[in-house]
Each structure stands twice: as structure tokens, then as C-alpha cells.
Amino acid sequence: MAPGSPSTATAHGPGHRGGSGGPGRRPRGRHFPFAVVLAHGLFAVVTLVLVLLTALGTGGS
């Protein structure tokens, strides 16, 4: 398979270019505060639980 083809490009995640980007550079996405990442995860879990409960018909009248 040729380098840069869709299947090999997505193996490392979107936007992965390889290399370090230079000294002192952090990868994209590493600058988010931990509280924001934690809140995002909590909202995701709550959403999944609510969808599951709705699909099971729990709490309906």
C-alpha cells in the first residue's frame, strides 16, 4: 500500500504527520486543560446512559 493512502494515514489518527514538529513543540490536542477533558468525558458518559435508558424504555409513563 502506498504511503499516505487513507488506510495508513488514519492508522496514526487524523492529522498525524510524523516527526516532533521541532524542539519544544507539543502535539495538537495536548494543550487542553484537564478539567475540560474530564467534563467532556463526563458529558459523554451521561449522554450514553440517557440514550440507553431511553432505548430500554425506563422512566416512561
pLDDT digits 0-9 by tens, 1-59: 666 666 655 565 666 566 666 677 777 777 889 999 999 999 999 999 999 999 999 87
Q: Which cell numbers hold the place of 25? A: 513543540
Q: Answer whether residue 19 is part of any domain.
A: no
Predicted confidence at residue 25, as pLDDT, reads 77
Cβ atoms 21, 27 nearer than 8 A? yes
- Domain of residue 43, residue span: 31-56
Name residues whose C-beta falls within 8 Å of residue 29's C-beta, 6 or more positions apart in sequence: none
For residue 24, the model assigns a pLDDT of 74
Would residue 11 count as lying in a domain?
no
Residue 26: its pLDDT value, please?
72
Report the number of distinct structural domains present in the chain: 1
What CA–CA distance (Å, rounded) separates 61 from 53? 13
What are the contacts of 35-42 at 24+ separation with CB within 8 A? none
